[in-house]
Chain A
Amino acid sequence: MEETVQYAGATGLLGSVWLLVAIPLVSAAILLLLGRRADRWGHWLGVAAIGAAFVLGLAFFFQLRGLENKSVELSLWDFIAVGDLRVDFGLLFDPLAAVFVLLITGVGFLIHLYAVEYMAHDGGRRRFFAYFNLFVAAMLLLVLGNNYVMLYFGWEGVGLASYLLISFWYGRPSAATAGKKAFLMNRVGDAGLAVGIFIMFATLGTTQYDEVFSGVGGLTATTVLVLGLLLLLGAAGKSGQFPLQAWLPDAMEGPTPVSALIHAATMVTAGVYLIARSNPIFSANSTLQLVVVSVGALTLLMGCIIGAAKDDIKRVLAWSTVSQIGYMFLGVGLGGGAYALAIVHLLAHGFFKANMFLGAGSVMHGMKDQVDIRRFGGLSKHMKITWLTFMMGWLAIIGMFPFSGFFSKEPIIVAAFEREDWTAWLFGGAALLGAGLTAFYMTRLFVLTFHGPKRWTEDIEHPHESPKLMTIPLILLAVGSVGAGFLLSTSVPDWLTATAGLGSEHAEHEAVLSHAVITTLSLLVTVLGAGLAWFLFRAGTATAPQPAGVLVTAARRNLYTDAVNEAVFEKPGIFLTRALVFLDNRGIDGLVNGLAAAVGGGSGRLRRMQTGFVRSYATSILAGALLVMAAFLAVQAGWLA
Chain B
Amino acid sequence: MCRDCSCGQPAPESNPEPLPEQPRRLPLHTALLQRNDAGAAALRQRFTAAGVTVVNLLSSPGSGKTALLEALAQRLGSAEGAAPRLAVIVGDLATDNDARRLQAAGVQAVQITTGQACHLEAPMVAEGVHRLSHQGVALGQLELLVIENVGNLVCPGAYDLGEGLRVVLLSTTEGEDKPLKYAPIFHGADLVLISKIDLAEAVGFDRAAAHAAIARVAPHAQVLEVSARSGAGLDALIAALGLATPAVR
Q: Do A and B bind each other?
A: no
Which residues of B line the A interface, CB within 8 A? none
